Amino acid sequence: MSLRGHRKENGVRNQDIEKQVPKDDGVDPRKKGTTRETILHNLNPDGKYLQMWNMMFVVSCTIAVSVDPLFFYLPVINEDNKCLALDDKLKITTICLRSVTDMMYVLNIILQFLCPVKLARTMIVKDAWLIAKTYLSSYFLMDILAILPIPQVLVPIIFSEMRGSKFLNKRKFLNAVVLFQYVPRVLRLYLSWWKLNSNDNNLARIVWVKAAFNFFLYILASHVLGAFWYLFSIERETACWHIACTKHIGCNPSSFKCQHSLGNHTFLNDYCSVEPPNTKLFDFGIFLDALQSGTVASKDFPRKFAYCFWWGLRNLSSLGQNLQTSTYIWENLFAVLISVFGLLLFLYFIGNLQTYMQLATQRSEEIIRSMKFKERDVDLWIHRNELPRDIKKEIMSNITHILEEKKDVDAEKPLPHLPRELRKKIKNHLCKPLLRKVPLLEKNEQLLQLICDHLKPVYYNEHSYIVREGEPLDAMLFITQGVVWNFITTGNGEGIVTSKAQCIEKGNFFGQELLDWGFMKGKETEKELVDGELKGSPVPNLSELPISTKTAKTHTKVEGFALMANDLRTIVSTRKTKAVSSIEAAWWHFHLEKKNEVSSKSA
């Protein structure tokens, strides 16, 4: 029996396929890598290259939003000279990191003009103008705002001039601009993460990614708030200097810049005192801790970063309840921002947790429902095959255990999922009655068991060809479920074609010619031993398989067991038992007598 088409590992055949599936991607090999079509193919929205880039871009965005707050640590207070300096080493490092992430943004903008756009589940836009139009109307403006070099330009400017109290208002405006640019960068990170996560169908992985993202938002918010706290602490101290300077004759505000530090500033120790603080003259509020700890005067970046990060995390987690603010309006707004951010992140976490619990409950119910359906289908399979109660109990116990381990089970074909010994029991129960219907096998229990052990389960879809007329017959099929049409088409040479069909149902078999090939060929080759020399092959030759004289096609789905030609060849060649030799002899004499009977009748 020639097994045509594709056969799965468990013997399932989907359909009869004549043509070979092309192994390439449909692109002419001579044009690969040289045309825009090939580029578009490689940048397919569901392709591996774009998925890898999306992952890299998410990582880049994560680094970018983590780098930006580092610019707020650039100014450093020199408490001895009462002047402001910049940490040049940190400035160079931060600008280099920011430039690298900006290059990733630029590359992503270029790709957005090249990559096909997936507008629906099955609709992919490849037209260059439509791709550009879609991007320009969506994320282009946000991406441009995200890559503007605002922090690396404005932060040094903010603290490079100390020209009096009027410049304090300009510094507030520049600080607002720096904060504003942070919004599109965080939003771009969220959208990139959402896009990457939306392509994932693994529910458990989605939940864990959401949990990780929620945790990252807490860490990021703590980092940002700590950096702003550091920056605003310096803002408040320099503001105090300017106010004191206006009340001190001969004070020059520009002298507060360390490069131009002139004059005696000892008067600031009284007016802007932090040890102890004089709240009647100037109240530093929530920024007093940064001044008293010496954080704003340190160039030890790891030390001041850790301290500011802890301040941000502590107050974000407590929703800012422990903050003792002054009456300064911007300080109060900053405290309100901390409280609101903490509340929003907490609600976001609770929402994700609730969603996870709902999804987990829903998935658990679906698993239980699926288990019941599969157990029901397996029970129907047992009932169709009329298996005894003890075997049914073993099957259901094993199937339930497999399903509880969340392993996939094909309920219509449960046999491959069962343990070996149980499969053998089921095979003996189903196949031995069929084998006993074969002439000369019904009385030879030893050979019958040997053949039964070599049978393999096979499954066919409806209207599938099992073997065609004129093809090698390489298997004998024993049908346990379903209906097979076995037919022959003949012509009389005058254009008239006639067909004869036979319906083979459950409990029958076909392909008995294979047994004739195995046993009779084995006996013929034994007779070719002359004077101790072997003139032929001692075993049946696969090159001499019988040719099918009929076509076998399934009418319904068919389940059964097949004795493959190679397995029969193994049984005959190994001579494991005397039963094989005796059955060969019996088979030979049976066909010889039949042949003589036909000859005598014709005479």
Looking up tokens 């080493």 gives 89
Distance, in Å, from the CA atom of 156 to the CA atom of 166, rounded to the nearest integer, reads 18
pLDDT digits 0-9 by tens, 21-56:
334 444 444 444 445 555 555 556 555 666 777 778
Give me the mean pLDDT over the 531-552 stretch. Answer: 69
Amino acid 315 reads N
Position 460 scores a pLDDT of 92
Q: What are phi and psi of 529, to 5 degrees?
A: -75, 115
Tell me the angle at which helices 48-67 and 88-114 cross, rounded to the nearest 10 degrees.
Answer: 150
Position 479 confidence tier, pLDDT thresholds 50, 70, 90: very high
> How many CB atoms are located within 10 Å of the residue 80 CB?
9
Checking if the pLDDT of 595 tops 70, the result is: no
Checking if the pLDDT of 106 tops 90, the result is: no
Position 554 scores a pLDDT of 92
Position 311 confidence tier, pLDDT thresholds 50, 70, 90: very high
Three-state secondary structure call for residue 26: coil
Which DSSP string corresponds to 499-565? Answer: EEEEEE-TT-EE-THHHIIIIIHHHHHHHTEETTEE-S-SS--GGGPPBPSSEEEESS-EEEEEEEH
Position 126 scores a pLDDT of 65
Give me the mean pLDDT over the 389-395 stretch. Answer: 89
* Assigned token pair, 148: 């503007």
pLDDT digits 0-9 by tens, 114-139:
776 666 555 666 666 777 777 777 77
Distance, in Å, from the CA atom of 320 to the CA atom of 312, rounded to the nearest integer, reads 9
Give me the mean pLDDT over the 184-193 stretch. Answer: 77
Position 477 confidence tier, pLDDT thresholds 50, 70, 90: very high
Position 127 scores a pLDDT of 67
pLDDT digits 0-9 by tens, 426-441:
998 999 888 888 877 7
* Assigned token pair, 574: 């190994």
Position 310 scores a pLDDT of 93
Q: What percent of the chain has pLDDT over 90?
A: 7
Checking if the pLDDT of 531 tops 50, the result is: no
Checking if the pLDDT of 528 tops 50, the result is: no
**Number of alpha carbons in the 13 Å side-chain half-sphere of residue 82:** 25
When mean pLDDT is compared across 95-99, 125-129, 532-536, the lowest value belongs to 532-536
Give me the mean pLDDT over the 196-210 stretch. Answer: 63
Looking up tokens 């405006």 gives 173
Cβ–Cβ under 8 Å, residues 414 and 450: no
Q: For the CA atoms of the chain, what is the radius of gyration?
A: 42
Distance, in Å, from the CA atom of 158 to the CA atom of 150, rounded to the nearest integer, reads 11
pLDDT digits 0-9 by tens, 123-180:
666 666 777 777 777 777 877 887 777 777 776 666 565 554 555 666 667 667 777 7
